[in-house]
Structure 1
Amino acid sequence: MRIHVAHSPDSDDAFMFYAINHKKIDTKGYEFIDVLSDIETLNKEALKGTYEVSAISIHAFPYVADKYALLSSGASMGDNYGPMVVAKEKFDINQLKNKKIAVPGTLTSAFLALQLFLESKDFNYEVIPFDQIIPAVKEGKVDAGLIIHEGQLTYKDEGLECIVDLGKWWYEKTEGLPLPLGGNVIRKDLGEKVMKEISEILKESIKYSLEHREEAVDYALKFARDMTKEKADKFIGMYVNDLTVDYGQRGKKAIELFLNEAKNLNLIPDIPEIKFV
């Protein structure tokens, strides 16, 4: 059976799926096909149920829960760190609502976290591809930018200042919970048996990379967008860790709280029962 696995062309996702792509583990007769695309495009494709397995933003899950279940592995969580709003010069966070902010997509968890931080959906923003946000801020096309992925480690090299780290804000607000950003989902129409088997294979792939870090990082460097190996390794460690192997109770609690807070502010529709496979 062919299984399309759609994910971002980033070093952390490449690290997670290294063992599958290089046949380092038993894939139990399944043929896995990589599909690479930015996270906002993947969110939109998930609305249509395009791929059997896909990375999505946790923000997008309520919109696709009729078609997909969350896999118990593959989480990207910011544990006292996460997406940041950056600018050329420091300014008071109370001024954020009056600034034009570049964002990487309206279904991203970073965008929902920013809405929660501002306690509003009404602010001035412009959707820009995530890898063009830092240049847009530097060139003065926007006042500030909401950065995700490797930009969280490279923005200082570009001469930018952090206005707020939303992962740190969430950690303090929730007294120690990680900020749920991304997860892997699997289509329900595959059936329970296939869903469970694929879940086990994907979990084994993540565990293999963590146990064979050097070779997996070397592979992931191809997707690290000009980062040094040291920075790429640090970034991968931020988003591929024990919570990625399994959400655990702490991760599940974080997702429930994140979505409930958003629902209370009418930022998302009703939250379905969250099923983990």
Structure 2
Amino acid sequence: MTASTPAQAETPTTSGVREISVAHSPDSDDAFMFYGLATNKVRVNGYKFVHTLCDIETLNQKAIHEAFYDVTAISFHAYPYLQDNYALMACGGSVGEGYGPMIVAPRPYDLDEIKKIRIAVPGTLTTAYLTLKLFAPEIETAVVPFDQIIPQVVAGNFQAGLIIHEGQLTYSHNGLHRVLDLGQWWREQTKLPLPLGGNAIRRSLGEKAMLTVTQALRDSIQHGLDHREEALAYAMQFARDLDTSLADKFVGMYVNERTLSYGEDGREAIRKLLTMGHERGIIPHSAKVDFVG
């Protein structure tokens, strides 16, 4: 898969086909979501979708500093930093229904203890980091690539780690204990699901193209849900050490009816998360959340 430059995305080609650059993380849930578009099972007349795979923290930074891709997966924590150039698509989100990023450790710390030790985190723009800081503003952190957090904790380089993605299902295989599930903590605090990541679309595409592309993503998600076996087989190449049953479980956690539409409580959760982050001094910008499609 190759990248498309912004200039290519903004200008229709000589054949009259408009290229839309799409970037998402190389994870089984994102792959499942984009299966229809990536394999041309879902097509849109006059549009060509060019896909790039990249880790989420890099995508956050690219969206903030370059507004590089037309459609990009982002952490919700990053949205206030890029909202001038992007709007949120009304579909394509990963939402934890009482589950989410976890603090894991070689031994079962209590919650007072965990606030006093240094925790490996997958990036300061991740929603996992934002939620951790809402839980314990004073906690000390160090950024480690998400796929290295469990190995670094197992090696003894950190007393605990904040894990995302498939690590939520595999940490116990490495002899680690779950200290706190932040999705569960958030549910107890707010009675809402925890919105983790979404897809943003560049405002410069114009309203018509933004709506068309958003509908294309929704159609791709629906296609995956309707053709689960084929979509899961495609997603397995990005499943990182998960067998088929675990990959199916992971995809089910983060690609479902909520991915097709956040729902009123899902939209409320996004706004509440970002408002709390701003009010508590974690996010310097107030969020102006608007949805496309």
With normalisation by structure 1, the TM-score equals: 0.97
Q: CA RMSD in A?
A: 0.8
Equivalent pair of 1:20/1:27 in contact (CA under 8 Å)? no
Q: What is the alpha-carbon distance in structure 2 between the residues aligned to residue 66 and residue 195 of structure 1?
A: 15
* 2:86–2:202 Cα contact (<8 Å) kept: yes
Q: After TM superposition, list the pairs within 5 Å mapping 1:1-277 onto structure 2.
A: 1-47=18-64, 48-118=66-136, 120=137, 122-175=138-191, 177-277=192-292
Instruction: Describe the SS at the equivalent of 1:17.
Output: helix
Contact 1:87 1:143 in 2 (8 A): yes
Distance 2:71 2:220 in 1: 14
| CA contact 2:28–2:239 (8 Å) conserved in 1 | yes
> How far is 1:110 from its partner?
0.2
Asked if the contact 2:105–2:179 (Cα under 8 Å) also holds between the matched residues in 1, the reply is yes
C-alpha separation in 1, matches of 2:174 and 2:26: 22
Partners of 2:41 and 2:52 in 1: CA distance: 19
Structure 2, unmatched stretches of 5+, are 1-17
Cα distance between partner residues in 1 of 2:271 and 2:122: 23
Q: Once the two structures are superposed, what CA deviation does each residue of 1:12-33 show, in whole Å capped at 9, x if it has no partner?
A: 0000010111111222221111
TM-superposition CA deviations, 1:57-109 (whole Å, max 9, x none): 00000000000000000111111000000000111111122111000000000
1:272 shift after superposition = 3.3
Deviation (angstroms), 1:243:
1.0
Report Cα offsets for 1:129-156 as digits up to 9, x if no partner.
0000000000000010000000000001
Residues in 2 aligned to 1:226 and 1:29: alpha-carbon distance in whole angstroms: 38
C-alpha distance in structure 2 between counterparts of 1:50 and 1:149, whole Å: 24
Residue 28 of structure 1 aligns to a residue whose secondary structure is: coil
Cα distance between partner residues in 2 of 1:123 and 1:83? 16
What secondary structure is seen at the aligned counterpart in 2 of 1:113? helix
What percentage of residue pairs aligned between the two structures are identical? 53
State the distance in 2 between where 1:272 and 1:232 align.
Answer: 34
Distance 2:277 2:207 in 1: 30
In structure 1, what residue type is equivalent to 2:74? I
